[in-house]
Amino acid sequence: MAQENVEVVRKPIAVRERSSRTLDQRLALRFPWLAATYGRLIGRLPPHSRLRQALLWRAVRLSGEAFNRGDVAAFLLNRHPDCEWYPPRDFVEAGFFQPCYRGPAGFREYVSAWSDVVGHVRVEPVEVIDLGRSIVVLAELRGSAQASGVPLTREYATVSTLGGRTIREQQYLRHAEALDAVGLRD
């Protein structure tokens, strides 16, 4: 939850249509301590820091691009090895997903469940909101339903709790839900 006196920094964001691993991603995959060091650096800077804004914005963009190209290893670079993912409540209640997935194996299981239900989806981030100890990413999901092929475009948002790297990610199907969860109004 957002508290009084928490600095909020909002920044628009977009991912590239086509991307590949960057040099720093390749190095971090080979030397995992680099990703941990990078996360600690970002976490120590105040939200208004231009360096933090640039590093966080880039990390979110590269993470979105990795997800869109199906590069799970690169996507997980900014996540703690014990990171927890909480799918959108609507999908859990419908029985599509478990309430929580943990660690890299859990994330792979979660992505597999997504592709079984929805097929391939693209995440198109539109805004990053930095609250210091957490970030909100407002995005759109684009894809098509697996069974029917019906095009899918809908709001999507994540609230990530930071502890150096992301340690918890709650997902929402409406921007307003995510903003309410952190105490912000659009």
For 106-139, how does the pLDDT look when each residue is reduced to its tens digit (9 = 90+)?
A: 999 999 988 877 777 899 999 999 999 999 999 9
What was the pLDDT predicted at 105?
96
Could you tell me the two tokens for 133?
């100890």
- For residue 32, the Cα-to-chain-centroid distance in whole angstroms is 19
| pLDDT tens-place string over residues 148-158 | 777 788 999 99
Contact 21/74 with Cβ under 8 angstroms?
A: yes
- Domains of the chain by start residue, with CATH: 9-181 (3.10.450.50)
Q: Is-contact 52 130, C-beta < 8 A?
A: yes
